[in-house]
Amino acid sequence: MELSTIRSYNVLRIIGILILLSSSPFVFAYIECSTVSQLFSSCSVFINYGTPDPSPGSRCCDAMSGLSIIANSGGGNKQSVCRCVMSLIQNYIQNATAIGTLPGLCGISLGFTIIPNSNCLVYD
Protein backbone atom coordinates (compact mmCIF):
# COMPACT_ATOMS: atom_id res chain seq x y z
CA MET A 1 0.00 0.00 0.00
CA GLU A 2 1.20 3.49 -0.73
CA LEU A 3 1.83 5.79 2.16
CA SER A 4 -0.84 8.23 1.01
CA THR A 5 -3.42 5.40 0.89
CA ILE A 6 -2.57 4.40 4.46
CA ARG A 7 -2.89 8.01 5.57
CA SER A 8 -6.30 8.51 4.05
CA TYR A 9 -7.41 5.18 5.50
CA ASN A 10 -6.43 6.38 8.96
CA VAL A 11 -8.19 9.68 8.46
CA LEU A 12 -11.35 7.87 7.42
CA ARG A 13 -11.13 5.63 10.48
CA ILE A 14 -10.77 8.59 12.81
CA ILE A 15 -13.74 10.32 11.19
CA GLY A 16 -15.74 7.10 11.61
CA ILE A 17 -14.92 6.93 15.29
CA LEU A 18 -15.88 10.58 15.76
CA ILE A 19 -19.24 9.99 14.07
CA LEU A 20 -19.87 6.98 16.30
CA LEU A 21 -19.02 8.96 19.42
CA SER A 22 -21.11 11.98 18.55
CA SER A 23 -24.17 9.94 17.65
CA SER A 24 -24.30 8.12 20.98
CA PRO A 25 -26.25 9.80 23.77
CA PHE A 26 -24.35 11.49 26.55
CA VAL A 27 -22.62 8.60 28.22
CA PHE A 28 -20.59 8.57 31.38
CA ALA A 29 -17.59 6.50 30.36
CA TYR A 30 -17.80 4.28 33.40
CA ILE A 31 -19.76 4.49 36.61
CA GLU A 32 -17.42 4.18 39.52
CA CYS A 33 -19.06 2.43 42.44
CA SER A 34 -17.05 4.74 44.67
CA THR A 35 -19.06 7.64 43.18
CA VAL A 36 -22.26 5.84 44.04
CA SER A 37 -21.20 5.11 47.62
CA GLN A 38 -20.02 8.69 48.00
CA LEU A 39 -23.49 9.90 47.00
CA PHE A 40 -25.11 7.51 49.46
CA SER A 41 -22.76 8.66 52.20
CA SER A 42 -24.61 12.00 52.11
CA CYS A 43 -27.51 10.00 53.52
CA SER A 44 -25.51 8.12 56.14
CA VAL A 45 -27.40 9.54 59.12
CA PHE A 46 -30.72 8.36 57.76
CA ILE A 47 -29.24 5.06 56.59
CA ASN A 48 -27.82 4.33 60.04
CA TYR A 49 -30.52 5.73 62.30
CA GLY A 50 -33.64 5.75 60.14
CA THR A 51 -34.30 9.39 61.04
CA PRO A 52 -34.74 12.15 60.23
CA ASP A 53 -36.46 11.46 56.91
CA PRO A 54 -34.55 13.28 54.21
CA SER A 55 -36.71 15.77 52.34
CA PRO A 56 -36.26 17.00 48.78
CA GLY A 57 -33.66 19.76 48.75
CA SER A 58 -31.66 18.31 51.61
CA ARG A 59 -28.02 17.35 51.05
CA CYS A 60 -29.00 13.68 50.99
CA CYS A 61 -31.77 14.20 48.43
CA ASP A 62 -29.53 16.38 46.28
CA ALA A 63 -27.15 13.42 46.15
CA MET A 64 -30.02 11.08 45.24
CA SER A 65 -31.11 13.47 42.47
CA GLY A 66 -27.58 13.39 41.12
CA LEU A 67 -27.63 9.63 41.22
CA SER A 68 -30.94 9.54 39.38
CA ILE A 69 -29.56 11.79 36.63
CA ILE A 70 -26.61 9.43 36.20
CA ALA A 71 -28.82 6.32 36.30
CA ASN A 72 -31.27 7.73 33.77
CA SER A 73 -28.73 9.11 31.31
CA GLY A 74 -28.76 5.99 29.15
CA GLY A 75 -25.85 3.98 27.89
CA GLY A 76 -26.47 1.14 30.31
CA ASN A 77 -25.87 3.45 33.24
CA LYS A 78 -28.97 2.27 35.04
CA GLN A 79 -27.65 -1.26 35.17
CA SER A 80 -24.21 -0.08 36.29
CA VAL A 81 -25.69 2.09 39.02
CA CYS A 82 -27.98 -0.77 40.08
CA ARG A 83 -25.03 -3.15 40.37
CA CYS A 84 -23.13 -0.63 42.49
CA VAL A 85 -26.16 -0.15 44.74
CA MET A 86 -26.52 -3.92 45.10
CA SER A 87 -22.94 -4.35 46.27
CA LEU A 88 -23.38 -1.33 48.53
CA ILE A 89 -26.42 -2.79 50.26
CA GLN A 90 -24.66 -6.12 50.72
CA ASN A 91 -22.30 -4.19 52.98
CA TYR A 92 -25.16 -2.47 54.79
CA ILE A 93 -27.64 -5.28 54.65
CA GLN A 94 -29.09 -4.39 58.06
CA ASN A 95 -29.86 -0.98 56.63
CA ALA A 96 -31.09 -2.14 53.24
CA THR A 97 -34.69 -1.20 54.00
CA ALA A 98 -33.73 2.36 54.89
CA ILE A 99 -31.63 2.62 51.71
CA GLY A 100 -34.57 1.33 49.68
CA THR A 101 -36.87 4.09 50.92
CA LEU A 102 -34.51 6.91 49.94
CA PRO A 103 -35.68 7.46 46.34
CA GLY A 104 -39.31 7.62 47.49
CA LEU A 105 -38.57 10.04 50.33
CA CYS A 106 -36.60 12.25 47.97
CA GLY A 107 -39.24 12.05 45.24
CA ILE A 108 -36.86 10.73 42.63
CA SER A 109 -36.75 7.57 40.55
CA LEU A 110 -33.65 5.57 39.86
CA GLY A 111 -35.56 3.44 37.37
CA PHE A 112 -35.06 0.33 39.47
CA THR A 113 -36.17 -0.76 42.91
CA ILE A 114 -33.57 -1.06 45.61
CA ILE A 115 -34.17 -4.52 46.97
CA PRO A 116 -31.42 -6.88 48.08
CA ASN A 117 -30.25 -9.39 45.47
CA SER A 118 -31.89 -7.69 42.51
CA ASN A 119 -30.42 -9.09 39.32
CA CYS A 120 -30.36 -5.53 37.92
CA LEU A 121 -31.94 -6.61 34.65
CA VAL A 122 -33.10 -3.09 33.93
CA TYR A 123 -32.95 -1.55 30.52
CA ASP A 124 -32.74 2.02 29.38
Number of Cβ within 10 Å of residue 82's Cβ equals 22
Nearer to ligand NAG, 31 or 99 (CB): 99
Q: Does 41 bind ligand NAG (CB under 6 A)?
A: no
Q: Does 48 bind ligand NAG (CB under 6 A)?
A: yes
Q: Does 95 bind ligand NAG (CB under 6 A)?
A: yes
Which of the 8 DSSP states describes residue 122?
-
> Three-class SS of residue 13?
helix
Q: Which of 24, 91, 94, 109 binds ligand NAG (CB under 6 A)?
A: 94
Burial profile 33-51: b = 16 or more Cβ within 10 angstroms, e = fewer? eebbeebbebbeebbeeee
Rounded to a whole number of angstroms, the minimum distance from the CB of residue 85 to ligand NAG is 16
For ligand NAG (CB under 6 A), the number of binding residues is 6
